[in-house]
């Protein structure tokens, strides 16, 4: 396991509401990380992640790892240990979707660990002419890097801030793993789980109606 002193937990909380089951996970895993970094009250998740990543890269230099956990992710110690198994630079866990009966979300940032080297390499990406590939922007008088871009691409595809990061991570040749052994819940009106965790739920064909 990675020394806890090298791990900073990052949690954006846009509406100041942190699910109690997520709090339970943070408390249970407290011996495994150094401290949490909360950023509350920001409705733009891409901007919030960029500000938190900037804090990690430029200010919290004593840490090697940034552990992203969303405020509505429900996890246990076993989930944490599965995520931290292996030597990859980026490990992203799947988690339950907030739609009953749907397969879990993959490549979302709800429970993801990223090594400092990946952010540093993304920051250093260049075009062939030597110009910086990743956009910069000012916030509170500080120059920041758009590690988590979102919006419309020239190809016509729309990407979220998680997909934007993975786009850069691919260009930076980060060693990445999708962790599918976790069983992460997703808190909403209730804690959404995987289809096989719903008592009596049975998938049916669309033409036969939902069940």
- pLDDT surpassing 70 at residue 138: yes
Per-residue model confidence (pLDDT) at position 154: 87
* Backbone phi, psi, residue 193, to 5°: -125, -170
Per-residue model confidence (pLDDT) at position 206: 43
Other beta carbons within 10 Å of 175: 14
CATH of the domain at 151: 3.90.550.40
The H helix count followed by the E strand count for the chain is 5, 12
Which of 191, 197, 194, 192 shows the shortest CA–CA distance to 20? 191
For residues 100-129, average pLDDT: 97
pLDDT > 70: percent of the chain = 94
- pLDDT surpassing 80 at residue 1: no
Q: Is the pTM value of this prediction over 0.85? A: yes
pLDDT digits (tens, 9 = 90+) for 89-106: 999 999 999 999 899 999
| Domain total in the chain | 1
Q: Which residue has the tokens 């995520």?
A: 83
Quick one: pLDDT band at residue 203, thresholds 50, 70, 90? low
Domain containing 60 equals 4-208
């Amino acid at each position: 396991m990675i020394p806890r002193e090298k791990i900073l937990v990052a949690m954006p909380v846009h509406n100041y509401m942190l699910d109690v089951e997520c709090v339970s996970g943070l408390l249970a895993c407290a011996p495994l990380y150094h401290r949490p970094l909360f950023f509350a009250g920001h409705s733009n998740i891409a901007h919030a992640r960029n500000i938190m990543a900037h804090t990690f890269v430029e200010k919290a230099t004593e840490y090697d790892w940034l552990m992203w956990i969303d405020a509505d992710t429900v996890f246990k110690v076993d989930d944490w240990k599965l995520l931290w198994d292996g030597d990859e630079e980026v490990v992203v866990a799947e988690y339950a979707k907030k739609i009953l009966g749907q397969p879990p979300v993959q490549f979302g940032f709800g429970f993801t660990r990223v090594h400092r080297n990946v952010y540093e390499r993304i920051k250093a990406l260049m075009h062939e002419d030597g110009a910086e590939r990743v956009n910069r922007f000012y916030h509170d008088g500080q120059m920041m890097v758009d590690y988590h871009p979102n919006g419309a691409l020239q190809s016509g595809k729309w990407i979220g801030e998680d997909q934007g990061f993975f786009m850069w991570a691919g260009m930076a040749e980060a060693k990445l793993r999708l962790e599918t052994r976790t069983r992460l819940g997703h808190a909403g009106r209730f804690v959404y789980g995987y289809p096989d965790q719903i008592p009596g739920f049975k998938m049916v064909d669309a033409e036969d109606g939902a069940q």
